[in-house]
Chains A and B, each alone.
Chain A
Amino acid sequence: MNAAVIVFPGSNRERDVAAALKAGSGKTPAMVWHAETELPDGTDLVVLPGGFSYGDYLRCGAIAARAPIMDAVRAHAARGGHVLGICNGFQILVESGLLPGILTRNKGLRFVCKTQHLKVERADTRFTSGYKPGQVIEVICAHGEGNYFADPETIARIEGEGLVAFRYCDAAGNLGGFANANGSINDIAGVYSEQLNVLGMMPHPENLIDAAVGGVDGLAMFAGLAKAA
């Protein structure tokens, strides 16, 4: 699998996700600076990493979504190419129009940094083929603006079309309540595009790829992506 990680000024998770892609696919991804206008030839997967692109100026992800490379990312997605946005990458995807909705300030106003459980909604996409439907996985949350919001029509559409990828839950798989630390509507932690080739998610699967460092629940995503490529 040929993966390209887009690096914006203020990205800070690009090395973590590169390590996860290497661990999952055996191949080191290309690092692509945001001012580029083309992706490397043969790119299968584009990853928008976490961080604080452009210092979160204006709105999280707003400036990065208008960066020169994003036209190439949109074209890649339009061709059916796969795009994964994690944390700030998710914020960039909603700002760029590749995913519906928006991520607003956490309901409790605090930056949330903790281990989080997610329920995998479906396992028939390239991103989640390494999981089982309904499986509860462990990831890491680290964000101040992860409160997923969209108008009621949009929420009804993404729910109706099965475009919710992950929901916040506790270790036993119970949805919502205290497990939803940011106030997201319907406990939504991740969303697919209509064609299921673009995924945005707030928590970090790339931080759980090594048994010596917390666990390996995130590895299945990267290994699954590589297997399907």
Chain B
Amino acid sequence: MKARVTVTLKNGVLDPQGKAIEGALGSLGVAGVESVRQGKLFDVELATEDRAEAEATLKAMCEKLLANTVIESYRYDIVG
């Protein structure tokens, strides 16, 4: 079973990297960008075919390692 985990900064947490990218887009002449927030994406392959078991594993890995919930939130989607 394949899954995609997305980890993003919570609202209100300063994202200097996103700000720098935003500035670079502006200097490239890309118009109409209101803001950029940078995050992380993980493609995970799981041994199970059981959806509930996969979701439990994904939640555990996000809480234990992939996200630091002090500043980050996460979501996971089973993609196949």
Nearest CB of B to A94, in Å: 8
Chain A contact residues, majority secondary structure: loop
- Say whether, besides A105-B16, A105-B17, A109-B17, A62 and B70 are in contact (CB < 8 Å): no
Answer yes or no: B52 CB below 8 A from chain A CBs: no
- Distance A108 CA – B17 CA, assembled complex (angstroms): 10
- 16 example contacts (A-B, Cβ-Cβ < 8 A) are as follows A58-B65, A58-B66, A59-B68, A62-B65, A66-B64, A94-B70, A104-B71, A106-B16, A108-B16, A109-B16, A109-B17, A109-B20, A149-B14, A149-B70, A150-B70, A183-B14
- CA A76 to CA B55, docked complex, whole Å: 34
Chain B contacts for A151, CB-based, 8 A: 70
Instruction: Tell me, in angstroms, the Cα distance from A132 to B16 when the chains sit together.
Output: 36
Per the bound structure, the CA–CA distance linking A101 and B13 in Å amounts to 12
Give the number of residue pairs across the A-B interface with Cβ within 8 Å.
33
Cβ of A21 under 8 Å from chain B: no
Contact (Cβ within 8 A) A102 B70: yes
Inter-subunit contact B71/A102 (CB<8 Å):
yes
- Main SS of the interface on chain B? helix
Complex interface bits, A92-116 against B, C-beta within 8 A gives 1, otherwise 0: 0011000001101111110000000
Complex Cα distance, B6 from A157, in Å, reads 31
Q: Which residues of B come within 8 Å of A, CB atoms?
A: 13-14, 16-17, 20, 64-66, 68, 70-71
- A:42-91 near B, CB below 8 Å: 58-59, 62, 66
CA distance A225 to B66 in the complex (A): 35
- How far, in angstroms, from A117 to B65 measured CA to CA in the complex? 34
| Interface, chain A (partner B; CB < 8 A) | 58-59, 62, 66, 94-95, 101-102, 104-109, 147, 149-151, 183
Return chain B residues, CB-CB under 8 Å to A58: 65-66
5 tightest A-B CB contacts, nearest first: A102-B70, A105-B16, A109-B16, A102-B71, A102-B68
Report how far A104 CA is from B9 CA in the complex, Å.
Answer: 11
* Cβ-neighbour of A62 out of B14, B17, B20, B68 (below 8 A): B68
Contact A149:B65 (CB < 8 A) given known A107-B14, A109-B16 = no
Residues of chain B within 8 A of A102, CB atoms compared: 68, 70-71
Among B13, B14, B17, B68, chain A packs the most CB atoms within 10 A around the CB of: B68
Complex-state Cα separation, A104 to B71, whole angstroms: 9
Picked from A95, A101, A107, the residue with its CB within 8 Å of the CB of B16 is A107
Q: A109 contacts which chain B residues (CB < 8 A)?
A: 16-17, 20
Closest to A59 in B: B68
Chain B proximity of A87: nearest CB distance (Å):
18
Contacts of A104 in B (CB 8 A): 13-14, 71
Q: Which residues of A contact B66 (CB under 8 A)?
A: 58
Is B71 in contact with A149, judged by CB distance below 8 angstroms?
yes
Q: Please name all residues of chain A whose beta carbon is closer than 8 Å to the beta carbon of B20 when the two chains form the complex.
A: 109
Minimal Cβ-Cβ distance residue in B for A94: B70
CA of A102 to CA of B64 in the docked complex: distance in angstroms?
15
